[in-house]
Each structure stands twice: as C-alpha cells, then as structure tokens.
C-alpha cells in the first residue's frame, strides 16, 4: 500500500486516543486481559537498532533449553554472539525488564500476545513459531518485535499522516509518547468472528468482516444477529466512553450476545478499510438509528469465495 498520496485528515489527538495504554483502563471489563509495561529507554533503543538480529542475554537460557530449534530456518538470529568478533553487535541485557515480562507470561499461563502502543508485529509472523503471534518465551517476543516494520513505524513516525503534524517541521512542540510494551493474555481467535467497526461523528456507520481474505458462510446466515449484537455493544460500552468523534474499533463475537473489544484505530487511511474504501467512508452521510437496532448500518462481508481479497501481509516474508 502506498501511503504518500493519503490526504491528511487525522489529528495527533486521534492517534494518541487509540494508543492502547490510553484507553485500556476505561474498557478493561470488555476487552482481553492485558498488562502494560513502560518501555525503558535501553529497550526502546534496542528495538530501533538496525543490523544483525541479536537477542538479549536473558534469552540465552531459553536457547540452552532448546528454543533455538524453533528458529533453525532463520539465519539472521545470532544465538552465539560471544563467538563473534568485536566488530559485530554486542549482546544487550535487560534483566529487570525481561524479568517483568517473564512474570506476566507466567501469570498468563505461559502464552501471550505482544504489541506496542498501536501496532502488533503481524508483519513478522513469517519468523514466529508456527507463523503465529503467540509467544511462550521472551525469545519469541523479542524476535517478533525486532523483525517488525509495523513496530518500527510505531516508534519512529506514528503521527506521519496527521494534518497537525509536520514530519520535517522545526517549529512547535513534538507530541510526547510514553512508549509501552503491551502484553495480552493469549486467546485463540477464529478470524471468522472478528469485525471492524467504523464510527463517524459518534455514530456507528459501518461494519466489515475483519479477515477479508476468506469466505465464512456463517456470517451471511447470522448477519442480522451479528449487527444487532455489535450495535448493542457499541451503544452500551463504547459510544459515550471513547473520547473521539471519529474512530475505528475491532471486536470479536464469540457467540450470540457475547462481544469482546480487541482494539481502537484512527479513522483514516493508516487503518485498513477492508470491504469499504476511505473515499466513501469520508463522504458517508450520517443516519440516525432511532430504534437502536442497527438497521441503518452497512455490513459488508464476503458472500462467496470470489469476494475475498489478497492477504496484504503475504509480501512480508523471509528476507533474501
């Protein structure tokens, strides 16, 4: 996707509001259990470093326990830095931070999902165990975070497409971001039950099937029930609590009358519109849903296998 032609409509405040540490406390009861750890500056700098991928010293024990076997196919991972020459990157160590992560991992039953304020390393699943974002060790976590362009974008230019932020500008105060590692209790999610919801002027205007690469026949069979459940969830838990007028949120519907919040995203082209386009979403005329039943919502999904779209992450793969 080429971003350079995007019309800048988002504001810095819109992006900051969608940072998970900004909204989690208000929505803790309706989302996945999460622990938020402030990123120490040495860890932040480590994630930004280019060059050979060298995991921290705290991963060495996991290497000795056999974790290295999970990554035999990936030569960029340096498990034996001590044998390298002085010119190579030195192995870093973050004992206190890594210990906190291990504690969270243990409390989560040994399985977790990691991301930063906004983005998860979903572009790096090619390097993850079984091509998954599930982490059962800190080695897997560091490996995913260090291999992700999306994570780098979070750290270097989260406001690049905001109308009130100049990338190369010298004037004005730059927005301050308290970067965090977000650890969420692992939950096996069927991609066919996840939906993206678009809110404009505090009205829920549209819903899209989140995984637009696959046809799920159950969606068409339950279309009205899905719409009603998401609309009720929005009105009860989100509409009067989230602090922006225009935004996007993702949910899963695990069964009838059971909806779980996954994330918030800015209302703009940096968020995938899936079965919609941003031109039509920007021009969308608001209709009042006076009966609170979701009848005015536009719900789009694949109605057959011909309606699916290519996976946007397939071009992220093993570097040549």
Q: What pLDDT score was predicted for residue 131?
A: 83
Distance, in Å, from the CA atom of 172 to the CA atom of 82, rounded to the nearest integer, reads 45
Tokens of 308: 């699916």
- Of the candidates 263, 266, 225, the one whose C-alpha atom is nearest the C-alpha of residue 244 is 266
**Helices H / strands E in the chain, number of each:** 10, 10
Beta bridge partners of 266: 247
- Of the candidates 193, 197, 192, 190, the one whose C-alpha atom is nearest the C-alpha of residue 215 is 192
Distance, in Å, from the CA atom of 79 to the CA atom of 81, rounded to the nearest integer, reads 6
Q: What is the tens place of the pLDDT at every residue in 239-277? A: 999 999 999 999 999 999 999 999 999 999 999 999 999
Q: Are the C-beta atoms of residues 10 and 270 closer than 8 Å to each other? A: yes
Can you say whether residue 109 is alpha, beta or left, with left for phi > 0 and alpha for psi between -120 and 50 degrees? left
Sheet holding 180-185, edge to edge: 34-38, 180-185, 112-115
pTM: 0.85
Residue 8 φ/ψ, nearest 5 degrees: -80, 105
Q: What pLDDT score was predicted for residue 173?
A: 65
Q: What is the tens place of the pLDDT at every residue in 116-140? A: 999 999 999 888 777 899 999 999 9
The DSSP letter of residue 236 is: I
Sheet holding 298-300, edge to edge: 258-266, 247-255, 194-200, 203-209, 298-300
Segment-wise mean pLDDT, segments of 10 residues, the chain, 320 residues: 54 96 98 98 95 90 54 50 50 96 98 97 86 94 95 93 75 81 96 97 97 94 96 97 97 97 96 95 80 74 74 46
Q: What pLDDT score was predicted for residue 211?
A: 94
């Amino acid at each position: 996707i080429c971003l350079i032609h995007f019309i800048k409509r988002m504001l810095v405040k819109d992006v900051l509001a969608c940072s998970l540490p900004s909204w989690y406390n208000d929505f803790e009861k309706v989302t996945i259990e999460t622990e938020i750890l402030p990123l120490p500056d040495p860890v932040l700098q480590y994630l930004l470093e280019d060059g050979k991928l060298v995991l921290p010293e705290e991963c060495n024990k996991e290497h000795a326990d056999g974790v290295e076997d999970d990554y035999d196919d990936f030569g960029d991972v340096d498990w034996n830095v001590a044998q390298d020459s002085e010119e190579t990157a030195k192995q870093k160590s973050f004992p206190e931070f890594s210990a906190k992560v291990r504690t969270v991992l243990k409390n989560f039953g040994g399985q977790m999902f990691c991301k930063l304020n906004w983005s998860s390393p979903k572009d790096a699943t090619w390097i993850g165990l079984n091509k998954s974002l599930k982490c059962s060790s800190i080695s897997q976590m560091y490996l995913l975070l260090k291999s992700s362009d999306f994570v780098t974008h979070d750290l270097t230019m989260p406001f690049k497409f905001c109308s009130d932020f100049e990338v190369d500008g010298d004037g004005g105060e730059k927005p301050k971001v308290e970067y965090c590692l977000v650890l969420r209790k692992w939950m096996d999610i069927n991609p066919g039950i996840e939906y993206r919801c678009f809110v404009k002027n505090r009205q829920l205007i549209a819903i899209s099937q989140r995984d637009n690469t696959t046809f799920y026949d159950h969606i068409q069979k339950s279309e009205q029930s899905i719409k009603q459940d998401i609309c009720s969830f929005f009105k009860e838990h989100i509409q009067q609590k989230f602090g922006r007028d225009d935004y996007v949120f993702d949910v899963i519907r695990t069964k009838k009358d059971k909806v779980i919040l996954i994330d918030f995203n800015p209302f703009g082209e940096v968020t995938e519109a899936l079965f919609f386009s941003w031109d039509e979403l920007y021009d969308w005329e608001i209709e009042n849903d006076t009966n609170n039943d979701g009848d005015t919502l536009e719900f789009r999904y694949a109605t057959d296998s011909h309606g699916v779209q290519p996976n946007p992450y397939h071009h992220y793969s093993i570097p040549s």
